Amino acid sequence: MTDPLIDDAGEITTPITELPKPARRVLGVLVEKAFTTPEYYPLTLKAVTTGCNQKSNRSPLTSYSEDDVSDTLETLRQLGLAAVVHTESGRTERYRHYMRKRFTLSEAQLAILTELLLRGRQQLGELRSRASRMVPIESLEQLREELDGLSALNLLQTSGSLDRRGVEVDHNLYTANENMKLARAADDEEPVERPAAAPRAPERSAPASPPA
């Protein structure tokens, strides 16, 4: 790994454009558990390993050892994406994520990206349902708005326009040798601009995302 770029405040600023598979899984587990079981967060090494290898809400299934996860946590620490936490109540080291420090994301965008890191490509309806375990996403329209934001950060890839029926989305953090780019549908080579609302139609505001 090349040395990270450090700013004057001591913060790691190396751009993150890809992550290896174990790093994506471990990072996804840290963020997911922070949202869904905050009472147990930060996580012990054993808890992170169990979260990586659980059989629900994971694709593909893995069988990482604690040594595998420990090495991956060190990789994430060097990237400024995770940190070791020493709690007052115990001697066991615990781990937390620093996604909010490394990316400017809404809470909904963080939940969506986490779900994609844990399961990979999904259609919009199932993605909204699964990500809502972490942060409420009230409608498909809100989901599309959050996905637009992730696309602008180059963190998302799609198989077509987000308004297209059956469109699939995925994160954009695969390594180059994984060859996991989504192919666009043959009839959707170019993004389709969404039609503007009728001039006199009542406006419907999407629910505001909680602050990141």
Q: Which residue has the higher pLDDT, 13 or 125?
A: 125
Report the pLDDT value the prediction gives residue 8, as an integer from 0 to 100. 42
CB atoms within 10 A of CB 11: 13
The answer to whether the CB of 132 falls within 8 A of the CB of 42 is no
For residue 34, give both structure tokens: 């922070």
pLDDT of residue 7: 46
Would you say residue 104 has pLDDT above 90? yes
Q: DSSP 3-state assignment of 115?
A: helix
184 against 149, higher pLDDT: 149
Q: What percent of the chain has pLDDT over 90?
A: 74
| Residue given tokens 């790093």 in the structure block | 23
- The torsion defined by the Cα of 22, 24, 30 and 33, in degrees rounded to 10, comes to -110
- Residue of 128 and 8 predicted with greater confidence: 128
pLDDT of residue 189: 52
Contact 168, 123 (CB under 8 A): yes
> Per-residue pLDDT averaged across 95-105, rounded?
97
**Residue 211: its pLDDT value, please?**
44
Nearest CA to 75 among 83, 85, 63?
Answer: 83
At residue 79's C-alpha, the angle toward residues 25 and 108, to 5°, is 55
Of 30-44, 78-92, 197-211, the range with the lowest mean pLDDT is 197-211
- The size of the chain, in residues, is 212
- Round the average pLDDT of the chain to a whole number and report it: 87
Closest CA to 60 of 95, 96, 28: 28
Q: Look at residue 91 in the predicted model and tell me its pLDDT.
A: 78
pLDDT band at 10 (very low <50, low <70, confident <90, very high): low
pLDDT score, position 66 = 98
Give kind and range of the element (H or E) at residue 6.
Answer: none
Mean pLDDT to the nearest integer, 125-145: 98
pLDDT at 201 over 80: no
41-97, pLDDT tens digit by residue?
999 999 999 999 999 999 999 999 999 999 999 999 999 999 999 877 767 899 999
Residue 8 is encoded by which pair of tokens?
């004057």
Residue-level pLDDT at 15: 87
More confident residue, 161 or 10: 161
Query: What CA–CA distance (Å, rounded) separates 173 from 179?
Result: 11
Q: For residue range 166-195, what is the model confidence (pLDDT) as tens digits?
A: 999 999 999 999 999 888 866 665 444 444
Alpha carbon distance 3, 139 (integer Å): 42
